[in-house]
A = this chain, B = another copy of it.
Amino acid sequence: MKLKIAVLPGDGIGPEITQQSVKVLKAVADRFDHLFQFEDALVGAAAIDLLDNPLPEATLELCKKSDAVLFGAIGHPKYDNNPDAKVRPEQGLLQLRKGLGLFANIRPVKAYDKLIEQSPLKADRIAGADMVIYRELTGGIYFGDKFTAEDGQSATDVCTYSVEEISRVAHLAFKAAEKRSKKLTLVDKANVLETSRLWRKTVTAIGKEYPEVELDFLFVDNAAMQMILNPTQFDVILTENMFGDILSDEASVIGGSIGLLASASVGNENAMFEPIHGSYPQATGKGIANPVASILSAAMLLEHFGLIEEAEAVKKAVELSIKLNVCTIDINKDNHYTTEKVGDFLEGLIS
């Protein structure tokens, strides 16, 4: 198979981890006789610094004409604590999601046996946890109007959802549930929000088309609690943009390290793969960042194109590396490997 892959390393630890995934994908291409072409482009703070634009035109164009995007991370502290900053790195990511029509963000969360001891949660609570979160990614309060009153005395963000926006991600989530344990939990705040009531109504109607899937509902506050109290109750979680942002970061504690969690963002025409962790500026350049989330995102890329055996090879390699403790410091406290060494090891296993 021939694939054009746009590589957007971004900020902070983005470049160093993405480099490892590219290495791993190259090893996959070699072994399984594929042709993967990689092209780099600027995004985020890195792009602001050079071009004053978090998502340069050329980057969006490259992504559109590529088969897939491999994304690193975005964000830099110099923008976070400056409420007056007009251009923000994060806008690059948000514009990219919107520009590529990536309406569904898919985040699998699993408790690795070997890592159960790492989790802040007790082993008996998380053993067997295995869920996937479908987060709507191009709607809601992220993309509604936002403005500050002229006198600076108030600010507003608008959250809107259409039936169409809800439906397309809901269908993906139901289809995933059909192939998994056939349970879908819609997380919303229907006792307070009008948008949530539209979600509940729309998803309930769509559920009729998937009679095998058991549909239930949870208010987001309760879901945030249940995620920790009893994570094994979940199979597929479906939720809107902001709630999905919060819940999927929270869910990362189940896996033992946020450095392991991958995600795919898909639309009708494009797909992007990125770790769920951020740019982790304090770790930049120190060789301590865990490349596994990015590498597992590359595995999701392979799966997306039906390269199942290839994806399995990557996942197996990762599992073995964890078993052998060939891990960065977030997992292997005593005798840790660098970002690059972990990448080399995985590359070696796959080659």
> Which A residues are within 8 Å of any B CB, using their own CB?
75, 79-81, 83-84, 88, 90, 94, 120-122, 125, 141-142, 144, 146-148, 152-164, 189-195, 197-198, 200-201, 204, 217, 220-222, 224-225, 227-230, 242-243, 245-250, 252-253, 258, 278
Option from B79, B146, B198, B230 in Cβ contact (under 8 Å) with A154: B198
CA A164 – CA B161 in complex, angstroms? 29
Q: Is there an interface contact between A155 and B161, defined as CB atoms closer than 8 Å? A: yes
- Shortest distance in angstroms between A11's beta carbon and chain B's nearest beta carbon? 12
Q: A125-B120, A190-B83, A246-B224 are in contact. Are A158 and B158 (CB under 8 A)?
A: yes
Q: A141-B159, A163-B154 are in contact. Are A83 and B197 (CB under 8 A)?
A: yes
Query: Can you list 20 residue pairs at the A/B interface with Cβ under 8 Å?
Result: A75-B191, A79-B191, A81-B200, A81-B217, A83-B197, A83-B201, A120-B125, A120-B230, A122-B122, A152-B163, A153-B162, A156-B158, A156-B194, A157-B193, A221-B249, A224-B246, A224-B250, A225-B252, A225-B253, A229-B253
Q: Is there an interface contact between B197 and A155, defined as CB atoms closer than 8 Å? A: yes
Look across to chain B and name the residue whose beta carbon is closest to the beta carbon of A94: B192
CA A162 – CA B192 in complex, angstroms? 20
**Residues in chain B near residue A120, CB distance under 8 A:** 121-122, 125, 228-230
Q: Is there an interface contact between A221 and B246, defined as CB atoms closer than 8 Å? A: yes
Copy tally for this chain in the complex stands at 2
CA A171 – CA B295 in complex, angstroms? 46
**Residues in chain B near residue A192, CB distance under 8 A:** 90, 94, 141-142
**Residues in chain B near residue A88, CB distance under 8 A:** 191
- Shortest distance in angstroms between A315's beta carbon and chain B's nearest beta carbon? 24
**Residues in chain B near residue A278, CB distance under 8 A:** 222
Look across to chain B and name the residue whose beta carbon is closest to the beta carbon of A192: B142
Look across to chain B and name the residue whose beta carbon is closest to the beta carbon of A152: B163
Q: Is there an interface contact between A90 and B161, defined as CB atoms closer than 8 Å? A: no
CA A272 – CA B142 in complex, angstroms? 33
17 extra interface residue pairs, beta carbon distance < 8 Å, beyond A83-B197, A147-B194, A157-B193: A81-B200, A83-B201, A120-B228, A120-B229, A120-B230, A121-B228, A122-B122, A146-B193, A153-B163, A154-B162, A157-B158, A157-B195, A158-B159, A189-B245, A221-B250, A225-B250, A250-B250
- Shortest distance in angstroms between A169's beta carbon and chain B's nearest beta carbon? 15
Look across to chain B and name the residue whose beta carbon is closest to the beta carbon of A224: B250
Look across to chain B and name the residue whose beta carbon is closest to the beta carbon of A231: B120
- Shortest distance in angstroms between A332's beta carbon and chain B's nearest beta carbon? 17
CA A195 – CA B149 in complex, angstroms? 11
Look across to chain B and name the residue whose beta carbon is closest to the beta carbon of A74: B191
- Shortest distance in angstroms between A250's beta carbon and chain B's nearest beta carbon? 4
**Residues in chain B near residue A195, CB distance under 8 A:** 146, 155-157
**Residues in chain B near residue A80, CB distance under 8 A:** 190-191, 217
CA A32 – CA B217 in complex, angstroms? 47
Q: Is there an interface contact between B242 and A83, defined as CB atoms closer than 8 Å? A: no
**Residues in chain B near residue A148, CB distance under 8 A:** 194, 197-198
**Residues in chain B near residue A159, CB distance under 8 A:** 141, 156-159
CA A245 – CA B192 in complex, angstroms? 11
**Residues in chain B near residue A160, CB distance under 8 A:** 154-156
CA A258 – CA B221 in complex, angstroms? 12
